[in-house]
Amino acid sequence: MPHPALSPHPPVTVSISFVRGLLSGLPDGGPITQAVLAEVGIADELLQYDGARVTADQYAALFRSLCERLDDECIGLLSRPFKRGSYALMAQSSLNAQDLQQAILRVANTFRILQDDMTLELVSGRQLAGIAMHFTDAIVADRQFLHEFMLRSLWRLFDWLAGGDLPVARFDFAYPTPHDAGSYNEFFTGPITFNQPFSAIWFDKTHLQALVRVDESALLDFLTDPQTKFIVPRRNKDEVSAKVLSHLHHSRPAWPDLGATAVALCMSDASLQRNLAKEGTTFQALKDKLRRDMAIVYLNTTSMSLTELADKLGFSESAGFQRAFKAWTGSAPGSYRRGEK
């Protein structure tokens, strides 16, 4: 295979826990599971490693394949299929709403018509308003990935209706803190709380009066690939960590150190470290994250040798890269090439 250039933006990968989530509505180890993993080039052995990751493209392709095979945009997580086109219908039902509050009520009503397992409710407090999920089927309510999936899908929809300007105050989840809670910030760009009475998205109450800023043209664009819009992680470009990743990515193959990066971002070393600490990360963690994600993309899309890949990632020799990759993901680099066609 050729050695294509990476995107001008830092690559995005997704934790294997979210891949397991997409598959959680299927019978364990069933033929559909094996077929869709092979179709999108994900080696099934990666499901065994908690640190394993897949590319954002693979993750979106897996979701699209499941939707098509099952004719179900909730991929087997509800008691009956949420037929393809349901999300589009929800978006369309809110298109001519006067404001976000009316749009939410319309979406909730459309959702109620389309399925029976859960309802959406507009809830309001002194300062915050939210969209809460209430379940009528206890078995369905126990499917944790459904909570995650619905909240991020609804947030993307309402954020789009508000013109991409709906900051989230908090995401609530109605189950105990899961073992993979650290991965949630890949999809949920806001504070996260568990053990709540119900799962919900919360935002400043004043946004309920925000005008719906989309028209028929915007709807057509939104519906060209709604699955990817709902499923792929979205970074906050204003975060310092995102700026660091972008700088490191564009500086390749130099791989600047913390001091050079701080200068490029017009900060002192101490200021950069403080800002990253506020975002729960460090310079070295971001550098390793970028190298890990670049490695996963190259392993999935090229036949580049491990020696050449190690050099691209700033390692002096292949063995050092392989040790680091095993520490990052729990698996050897070769695991990412066994699904290669």
pLDDT along the chain (341 residues), means of 10: 60 93 84 90 91 92 93 94 92 91 96 95 94 95 95 90 88 95 87 96 95 84 71 75 93 92 96 93 94 94 92 92 94 77 38
- Return d(Cα 248, Cα 102) in angstroms, integer: 43
- Return d(Cα 110, Cα 263) in angstroms, integer: 52
If DSSP codes are grouped into helix, strand and coil, which group holds residue 241?
helix
Residue type, 21: G
The confidence score (pLDDT) of residue 341 equals 38
Number of H helices, E strands in the chain: 15, 7
The confidence score (pLDDT) of residue 340 equals 45
Inter-residue contact 233 to 186 (CB < 8 Å)? yes
CATH 1.10.10.60 domain span(s) along the chain: 236-337
The confidence score (pLDDT) of residue 335 equals 87
- State the architecture of 236-337 in CATH terms: Orthogonal Bundle (1.10)
The confidence score (pLDDT) of residue 285 equals 94
* Backbone phi, psi, residue 332, to 5°: -80, 155
The confidence score (pLDDT) of residue 296 equals 95
